[in-house]
Amino acid sequence: MNSDSLLVAKGISKGFPGVKALSNVDFSLRKGEIHSLMGENGAGKSTLIKVLTGILKKDQGQIYLENSLISPASAEEAKRLGISTVYQEVNLCENLSVAENIYIGREPKKNGRIDWKEMYRKAEVLLKEKLNIEIDVKRTLSSYSTAIQQMTAIAKAVDTSSGVLILDEPTSSLDKSEVQKLFEVMKNLKSRGMGIIFVSHFLDQVFEISDRITVLRNGQLIGEYQTSLLTRNELVSKMIGKEWIEPLLSQKKHAANISKKNFLMVKGLEKKGSMNPVHLSIKKGEVLGLAGLLGSGRTETAKLLFGIDASDNGTLVIENEKIHSMNPKLAIEKGLGFCPEDRKTEGIVGELTIRENMMLALQSKRGIFNYIPLKEQKKIAEKYIKLLNIKTPDMEEKIENLSGGNQQKVILSRWLATNPSLLIMDEPTRGVDIGSKLEIRKLILDLAAEGVSILFISAELEEVAACCDRVIVLRDRYQIGQLEGEKISVKNILELISEGAGVVESVHD
């Protein structure tokens, strides 16, 4: 072992019933480097991180921190040793405030009592300086979007880190600008000699930020590489274990298939304090994108359409029928589907199996007494496990035990199983690996070709540009413009967003 190695793992193995999640994996993080951990969904990245930080007990292997053997038994112990971690599934306290979450257990004190004012001030400064976000830190965490929750977790980890910082898919719900801000922070920590482990399915980010890459496949170590000596195609080939050539993303859509008829039409739908009036229509077979930055109102619009939030104004028409008061059950009956952005709290039902999770929406469409026979359930589950390449030993596995990306695929299957006429997809490829991401994009285009309407929301503007026939642009909870056909490009979307500042202000005046 050389003197600049910081965190070294040797021969780590970890098994779960029916799965060998890690077999004999070596990993080494050096001082002052950013080290990416790469692999397909279910390759074992999060498992390795959980073993390193004491959340999971390893079956075999040793861990060394600065050349001395450690074996942390809990995340707290790892933290005391100087390893701070942002886990893939953010585990903060939803009903505490943002500030409390950041300073829990190390609250600033005055005369033996918690100094709330100081705590709020420090939290505000921290978020502003490190990540450039300004929010009310007194509000509960649950009142904020996934992105803000993720950033709170990052801020907390960054603030407490002393030797090693581990970030498991920290950027999955962030926009470009937040990612850049995070990268600045990471570079700064790196220059101070810290080691950072970074996981992301965005290849661009990995190539931009990391010095070294370790690739895992099926729980096995494939190798450790210098980033500068690796191409994208080489990296992905190592991840999937066969030759990979990145397809061009320019496969534009076939506007010809779009029907003339509107499937859904919305006039002035709004919810005070959450979203200003929206006007939109979606034709059969059309892929409509909602683009905007963080907090622009994309998810809010989707929730209004699906009846999760009640609107206070406006009309909603589905196939010429006016809907007075929408709710999810009615929406499903009318042929809508909604794949939500927040997988953990709005998507998975943790205790249920993969099969049961896939059945929920279809079962509520058919009604409680029209139970889907087990045989049919199994057939459906089998179909989607194969179609979306979900990695699991068994469809009767609890969904909780799946890797993040695979959970996402199950939720997507839940909605595909209902054969929707309009599928609302809020960040459907979040946390999904590159191969499956392209599969899902293809699936979206295939569905549209069959006449299914798609409302597509993604923070990845390239993805929006590649898939959509039309894009509606939002900013600060206002609908500010629209792009169609050839005009859709990342550049034009960004331009519209920045021009939109004027539109938004003029409304306020």
Partner 1 sequence: MSQFMIRYTQSKLFWPFAALVLLLLINFFTIPGFFHITIKNGHLFGSLIDIMNRVIPLLVIAIGMTLVIAKEGIDISVGSILAITAAAAASLLEVAPLPYAILFALVIGLICGLWNGILIAYLKIQPMIATLILMTVGRGIAQLITGGQILTINNKAYEYIGKGFLLGFPFAIYIGLAVFCIVLIVKKKTALGLFLESIGSNKTSSHFAGIRPEKMILIVYIISGICSAIAGILVSSNVSSADANNAGLWIELDAILAVVIGGTSMRGGRFYLGGTLIGALFIQTLSTTIYSIGIRPEMTMVVKAIVVIAVCLMQSGEFRKLIRQSSFKKKVNEA
Ligand X SMILES: Nc1ncnc2c1ncn2[C@@H]1O[C@H](COP(=O)(O)OP(=O)(O)OP(=O)(O)O)[C@@H](O)[C@H]1O
Residues lying near Mg ion in the complex (CB under 5 A) = 46, 88, 403-404
Query: Of 29 and 361, which has the nearer Cβ to partner 1?
Result: 361
Cα separation of 130 and 158, whole Å? 9
Sheet containing 195-199: which strands, arranged edge to edge?
83-86, 164-168, 195-199, 34-38, 212-217, 220-226
Minimum CB distance to ligand X smaller for 238 or for 284: 238
What Å distances lie between residue 11 and 23, 203, 340, CA to CA?
7, 27, 39
The closest of 5, 25, 4, 3 to 14, measured between CA atoms, is 25
Q: Residue 480 contacts by C-beta under 8 Å, 6 or more apart in sequence?
A: 473, 474, 496, 497, 499, 500, 503, 504
Q: Establish if 45 lies at the interface with ligand X (CB under 6 A).
A: yes
173 vs 403, beta carbon nearer Mg ion = 403
- Please list every residue from 358 through 377 that binds partner 1, using CB under 8 A: 359-361, 363-365, 367-372
CA distance 423 to 412: 10
Locate 456 and state its tokens: 């597509």
Closest CA to 126 of 160, 96, 95, 92: 160
Contact flag: residue 43 with ligand X (CB under 6 A): yes
- Helix 374-387 with 404-416: angle, nearest 10 deg: 120
Which does residue 276 bind out of partner 1, ligand X, Mg ion, none, counting CB within 5 to 8 angstroms by kind?
Answer: none
Question: Taking a C-beta distance cutoff of 8 angstroms, is the pair 420, 331 a contact?
Answer: no
Between 350 and 393, whose beta carbon lies closer to partner 1? Answer: 350
Out of ligand X, Mg ion, partner 1, none, what residue 365 binds, judged by CB under 5 to 8 A for its kind, is partner 1
Residue among 28, 33, 38, 46 that touches ligand X (CB under 6 A): 46
Q: Residue 359's binding partner, choosing from partner 1, Mg ion, ligand X, none, with beta-carbon cut-off 5 to 8 A by kind?
A: partner 1
Q: Residue 41 CB, nearest distance to partner 1 (Å)?
A: 20
Q: Are 316 and 338 in contact (CB under 8 A)?
A: no
Q: Which two tokens stand for residue 387?
A: 């179609």
Q: Does 406 bind ligand X (CB under 6 A)?
A: yes
From the list 5-13, 89-97, 404-412, 418-426, the region that binds ligand X by CB under 6 A is 404-412
Minimal distance, residue 343 CB to Mg ion, in Å: 12
Rounded Cα gap, residues 136 and 440, in angstroms: 36
Instruction: Out of 193, 268, 350, 502, point to the residue binding partner 1 (CB under 8 A).
Output: 350
> Which of 230, 308, 438, 443 contacts partner 1 by CB under 8 A?
308
Distance between CA atoms of residues 281 and 262, nearest Å: 6
| Gap between the terminal Cα atoms of the chain | 65
CB of 342 to partner 1, least distance (A): 9
Q: Does 351 bind partner 1 (CB under 8 A)?
A: yes
Site string for ligand X, 359-398 (x = CB under 6 A): --------------------------------xx------
C-alpha to C-alpha distance for 314 and 297, rounded to whole angstroms: 17
Only one of the segments 44-52, 71-79, 153-161, 316-324 lies at the binding site for ligand X (rule: CB under 6 A); that segment is 44-52
Look up tokens 């905007």; give the residue.
292
Strand order in the sheet with 453-457: 336-339, 422-426, 453-457, 287-291, 470-475, 478-484
State which of residues 40, 100, 168, 356 lies at the interface with partner 1 (CB under 8 A): 356
CB 341 within 8 A of CB 427: yes
Spatial contact of 480 and 500, defined as CB atoms under 8 Å apart: yes
Closest CA to 445 of 426, 461, 423: 423
Applying CB under 8 A, which part among 7-15, 30-38, 164-172, 352-360 lies near partner 1?
352-360
Residue 206 or 339 with smaller CB distance to partner 1: 339
Residue 141 interacting entry, from ligand X, Mg ion, partner 1, none, C-beta within 5 to 8 Å by type: none
C-beta nearest to ligand X: residue: 405
Using the contact rule CB under 6 A, the part of the chain among 75-83, 90-98, 242-250, 402-410 near ligand X is: 402-410
Please, what is the minimum distance in Å from the beta carbon of residue 83 to partner 1?
Answer: 23
Kindly state whether residue 403 participates in binding ligand X, applying the rule CB under 6 A.
yes
Q: Which parts of this chain interact with ligand X (CB under 6 A)?
A: 16, 19, 21, 39, 41-47, 88, 391-392, 401-406, 431, 433
Q: Which parts of this chain interact with partner 1 (CB under 8 A)?
A: 308, 327-329, 331-332, 338, 340, 345-352, 356, 359-361, 363-365, 367-372, 414
